[in-house]
Structure 1
Amino acid sequence: MGTTQKRFIRRGVTKVFFLDAISAAANVPSRTELTGSTDLSDSIADFAGWSLTNTPVDTPDLGTTLTTSIPGEDKADSSSLTFYEDQLDDSVETLLAKDTEGFVVILRKGDIPASKSMDVFPVRVASRAPAYSTGSDPAKFTVTFAISDEPVLDAAVPAAL
């Protein structure tokens, strides 16, 4: 490539927001919508999924013994966010109650305006379950999401106000 990469770790950089609604038909939030949303980043212990996979379709033919394939259907991986539980505040649990619909917005490279690193997932909360432990682990709960519509990947982060 010839240029030096600026590598990073997600902790302290990647931001995760929950939005109740997005006004644009293309499901790309404005800066005002991002600013007015809930920033979940400081409560998240772990996240999993949040990507699409494709199931290729085999296309064998009589002319060869090689079975070729074409792209098939896309499927959203099982996606979840694991949160630290707050002993006094249940605002995250209330926000992400079962069957709640909204949008999980991930700024993969942080809040860098114009960076094409924003992914927007239309979601419905499928479940929320506490993680019980007798050890000295911090109390956590996991929210599992169903991806309810086609996500917008690699959108530009909106300009700062």
Structure 2
Amino acid sequence: MAATPINASVRYYRRGTTKVLWAPAIANKNAISRAEINASTALEGETGAMGGWQTTSATVGTPALGSRFTPVVGGEITAADSSLTFWASKDGDDVRTLLQREDNGFVVWMDEGDVEGQTCDIFPVTVTSQAKVRELDSAAQIMAQFAITSEPAENVTIPAA
């Protein structure tokens, strides 16, 4: 008998689908409420780039004198340095008024959109900087950098609207 194949994915293009929110408060990061989603600010309309926003796990060797092979077990979980880059406004009325250095909150990633029953990832963060991106031949941008302050909640079910 052949092995059961993995489910076929329904592939999608991230732009125009993914939602990213700034939530100033979430009571339980493992169970976001519709009220908390509605109280958030949608960032995707002004987001021009992103970096990080993923967790990785290290491994720890567990050698034993009785074997030359060293098995490993899961170790620490870390999150990559993360940022969102936004378009700057010539009048200064842009992300700089929303995400200020040392603000605490949550960045919520709804990769498949704000769809009931789909999942989101919730990153507890502190804003660490608002770097002005200065490029000769590009539109002006602001890069908000974030420290991820505790373990993100991954694959949290999005509640009904």
Deviations 1:101-152 (A, max 9, x none): 000001011111011x2001110011110110122x1111111100111111
Contact 2:130 2:143 in 1 (8 A): yes
- The count of corresponding residues between Structure 1 and Structure 2 is 157
Aligned-pair CA distance for 1:77: 0.9
**Equivalent of 2:125 in 109, 123, 126:** 123
CA shift, 1:83, in A, is 0.7
Deviation at 1:4, TM superposition (A): 4.7
Q: Partners in 2 of 1:70 and 1:16 — Cα distance?
A: 33
Q: Which one is further off, 117-126 or 26-35?
A: 26-35
Instruction: Describe how 1:1-161 pairs up with structure 2 within 5 A.
Output: 1=5, 4-23=8-27, 25-115=28-118, 117-135=119-137, 137-160=138-161
Counterpart secondary structure, 1:33: helix
Q: Give the 3-state SS of the residue equivalent to 1:13 in structure 2.
A: coil
Looking at structure 1, the residues matched to 83 and 35 of structure 2 have their Cα atoms a distance apart, in angstroms, of: 26
Tell me which moved more, 1-10 or 58-67.
1-10
So what's the TM-score if we normalise by structure 1? Answer: 0.91
Unaligned 5+ runs, structure 1: none
CA contact (8 A) 1:28 1:120 kept: no
2:7, 2:60 → 1: CA distance? 38
3-state SS, counterpart of residue 88 of structure 1: coil
In structure 1, distance between residues paired with 2:140 and 2:57: 35
Task: Supply the distance in 2 between the matched residues of 1:156 and 1:29 (Cα, whole angstroms).
Answer: 8
Question: SS of the counterpart of 1:114?
Answer: coil
Q: Where does structure 1 differ by over 4 angstroms across 4 or more consecutive aligned residues?
A: none
Q: CA deviation at 1:26?
A: 4.2
Could you tell me how far 1:5 is from its partner in structure 2?
Answer: 2.9
> Does the 8 Å CA contact 1:15/1:110 hold for their aligned counterparts?
yes
Percentage identity across aligned positions? 38
Q: Secondary structure at the match of 1:32?
A: helix
Query: Aligned partners of 1:35, 1:100: CA distance in 2, in Å?
Result: 19
